């Protein structure tokens, strides 16, 4: 009889614990606990989807077709060094936001690779051109970027001088 009482003392409480903390009941409890976080993530997902749907075509269409061939031109206004530093800092912060949003969009709704690409375009770091060229040459990214450009009447990106495909 001691054996039966020991079994009941050990396993009966564990069964009650298991049904409350795991399984379907446990999932509902978890969802209820994190309801605010789930709503916030859902809203962020919708916001990034809408933002990328608006911002990506604007940026990709404005880039020249030979952007990846020629050297970038720095035509920032240099009226005052403090203004220049502030503008560069804002541009880099915006680029970081795009990169992080693009990484999130790899698992959330949105155009993750293209958003990461736009973020990299905005960031300043050593080896940036090499990363840009590698990223845009990924078949899915290049196809999507050129599809958007064609949709707005722009020629596709090319990578070599005289390359018209």
Q: Where are the domains of the chain?
A: 1-33, 47-151
Q: Is the pLDDT of residue 155 over 50?
A: yes
pLDDT digits (tens, 9 = 90+) for 52-102: 778 778 888 888 888 888 776 666 666 778 888 888 899 999 999 888 888
Nearest 5°: phi and psi at 6? -65, -45
Q: What whole-number distance in Å separates Cα of residue 15 and Cα of residue 13?
A: 5
Give the Å distances, CA to CA, from 63 to 59, 66, 68. Answer: 7, 8, 10
pLDDT given for residue 33 in this prediction: 81
pLDDT given for residue 96 in this prediction: 93
pTM over the 0.85 mark = no
The percentage of the chain sitting over the pLDDT mark of 70, rounded to a whole number, equals: 75
Q: What is the token pair recorded at 129?
A: 């051109």
Q: Is the pLDDT of residue 150 over 90?
A: yes
């Amino acid at each position: 009889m001691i054996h039966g009482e020991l079994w009941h003392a050990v396993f009966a409480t564990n069964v009650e614990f298991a049904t409350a903390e795991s399984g379907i009941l446990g999932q509902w409890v978890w969802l209820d606990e994190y309801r605010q976080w789930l709503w916030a993530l859902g809203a962020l997902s919708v916001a990034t989807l809408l933002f990328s749907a608006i911002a990506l075509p604007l940026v990709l269409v404005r880039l020249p077709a030979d952007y990846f061939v020629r050297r970038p031109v720095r035509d920032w206004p240099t009226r005052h060094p403090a203004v220049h530093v502030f503008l560069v800092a804002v541009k880099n912060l915006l680029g970081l936001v795009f990169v992080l949003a693009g990484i999130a969009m790899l698992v959330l709704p949105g155009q993750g690779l293209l958003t990461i690409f736009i973020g990299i375009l905005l960031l300043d770091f050593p080896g940036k051109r090499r990363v840009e060229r590698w990223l845009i040459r990924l078949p899915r990214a290049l196809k999507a970027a050129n599809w958007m450009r064609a949709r707005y009447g722009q020629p596709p990106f090319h990578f070599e001088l005289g390359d018209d495909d």
